[in-house]
Amino acid sequence: MKFLVYVFCFFTSHILLAETNVSVFTGYRAGGALKEVGTDRNLKIKETTSNGISVDWSYTKNTMYELVYSHQETQLLSGTASPDVLIDLDIDYLHIGGIYLWPGERVQPYLVGTFGLTHFKPTSGGYNSKIRSSIGFGLGSRVKLTKRLYLMFEARGYSTIFNSGSVTLCGNAGCKIFISSDALWQSELKAGLTFKF
């Protein structure tokens, strides 16, 4: 996922150099209810912190393109009263989309909509990674600190689409976790700094 961000930035550098904003952020990501095929037990993705980077550049006075990468290190839990950790899991979003901005002297609210890929990477149990398509939407605000520095606050939702209706996590020991769901919903609250170039 990180490699794709670097490749994109390289091939669009001539565009990104014109009125570009780069934001670094940290946040808190929640949500992620799934169901296991066969046992019918509920599974849950643990709420944890997230971090990432976004790059946006002007299209018109009030609109911008955006490329965003967001990373979460979490765990897949059984949905019981005393949940067991099934696997350690990294979830990455790599999205591209657009921003509608209300320009202001000090505070600049905005709406954002994106689409792209979700990368599920188990970091325990020997399971293979999975990539699925996803969409994102949110609202936020930038608060001007200096001519080129802003505080950024944002709430964003992600929906990962499972085209086949199921995801199977397989590894060296075979396929052990079978997940049946139409979509995975997650929400993210984040704050960071935006640098204007």
Query: In the chain, what are the domains?
Result: 2-6+27-196 (2.40.160.20)
Q: pLDDT-derived band of residue 10, with 50, 70 and 90 as boundaries?
A: low
**CB neighbours of residue 58 within 10 Å:** 16
- By CB atoms closer than 10 A (0-12, 13-18, 19+), residue 116 is buried
Confidence at residue 6, expressed as pLDDT on a 0 to 100 scale: 56
Q: Which residues contact 194 (CB under 8 A, 6 or more apart)?
A: 21, 22, 23, 142, 149, 150, 151, 152
Higher pLDDT residue, 1 or 72?
72
3-state secondary structure 140-189: EEEEECCCCEEEEEEEEEEEEECCCCEEEEEECCEEEEEEECCEEEEEEE
Q: Mean of the pLDDT values across residues 140-164? A: 92
Confidence at residue 162, expressed as pLDDT on a 0 to 100 scale: 81
| Cβ contact 140:182 at 8 Å | no
Q: Is the pLDDT of residue 65 over 90?
A: yes
Strands 183-196 and 174-180: unpaired
Q: Positive or negative, the Cα torsion across 91, 27, 187, 30?
A: positive
Q: pLDDT-derived band of residue 165, with 50, 70 and 90 as boundaries?
A: low
Q: pLDDT-derived band of residue 156, with 50, 70 and 90 as boundaries?
A: very high
